[in-house]
A and B are shown apart, each in its own frame.
Chain A
Amino acid sequence: MDASNITFIIAAYTVTWIVLLGYLLRLVRKGGRARADYERMAQQRSGEKSQ
């Protein structure tokens, strides 16, 4: 296998995994923030109702 070709093949698979795992990480972080906001808001609302 040509050495320069190996570099491009490795680069292609590396970029693929960076993008897939990067987007997964973004979803995990965004999801965690959204769920925390939801819980906080729901608690706040239920506190307001009980008063």
Chain B
Amino acid sequence: MSLKREGKLTSSTDHLRDTQAARPPRTSNWLAFVSFAAVIAAQAYAILTSPADADMGHLQKIMYVHVPAAWMTFLSFFVVLVFSVRYLWRRQENDDLIAASAAEVGATFNGLTLMLGMIWGRPAWGVWWVWDARLTSTLVLFLIFVGYLALRAFTEDAQQKAQWSAAVGAIGALNVPIVYMSVKWWRTLHQPPSSPETLDPAYTLGLRINAIAMLLVLIYFIRRRYEIARLERAVEHMAEAAAMGGG
């Protein structure tokens, strides 16, 4: 059985036997171990070796978690965009499941980014929150993907759920460039984007390795969530087939 056939979203029961036979593979735990160990090592390196910043002092160390979390948010929603468009084009069930998995993980990183930004903002700016372009657009992005997940949770029909969420996911992900460019387009309290190009070399390596470690966690989370989504969908297909009396 080809993956293509297995992933096809149809209302018939033709593929149900295939789905039952195709036991979704289990994501190996070594990736979880490696990714979490990498985060511990990267954070330890950055905390212990980076010097105090001239303006912010040691508060700068929050950058090693805040910036990678923001990058993982953008990356997750880019995956949502790609697989949502692919779903709308090809109508393959697997594309919908990958997009949904990336959306859930992305919303988690988006929430983390917002919380870390508030924790950094309080001592740096004297306030937890300001309705600044970067913060507001990041919050809007978060709310769009919370809406995306709510839409999936409350829509029963699998095909309708996939179509609507692909549309919301594709449109929602278009907010990512607005979030990224907000500090350039508008005058904001938030500093310009931190990247290895804009940073003092003393902080570059720490940021890079923390971003790579967080990327491993992101890959593990999306793979694991996708595996679970496939299992859940296989169970739904089998239940549907049993209800229809198919064997």
Contacts and interface: CB of A to CB of B under 8 A. Distances in A.
Nearest to B122: A8
B32 to A, nearest CB: 7
Tell me whether chain B's interface is mostly helix, strand or loop, or mixed: helix
Contacts of B52: 1
Main secondary structure of the interface of A (DSSP, over half): helix
Interface residues of A, number: 29
30 contacts: A1-B58, A2-B58, A5-B57, A5-B58, A6-B58, A8-B59, A8-B62, A8-B120, A8-B123, A9-B58, A9-B61, A9-B62, A11-B119, A12-B61, A12-B120, A13-B43, A15-B115, A19-B115, A24-B221, A27-B224, A31-B227, A34-B228, A34-B231, A34-B232, A35-B231, A37-B231, A42-B23, A45-B20, A45-B242, A48-B247
Interface of B: 20, 23-24, 26, 32, 36, 39, 43, 52, 57-59, 61-62, 65-66, 69, 105, 108, 111-112, 115-116, 119-120, 122-123, 217, 221, 224-225, 227-228, 231-232, 234-235, 238-239, 241-242, 247
Closest 5 CB pairs of A and B: A34-B231, A12-B62, A16-B65, A41-B238, A19-B112
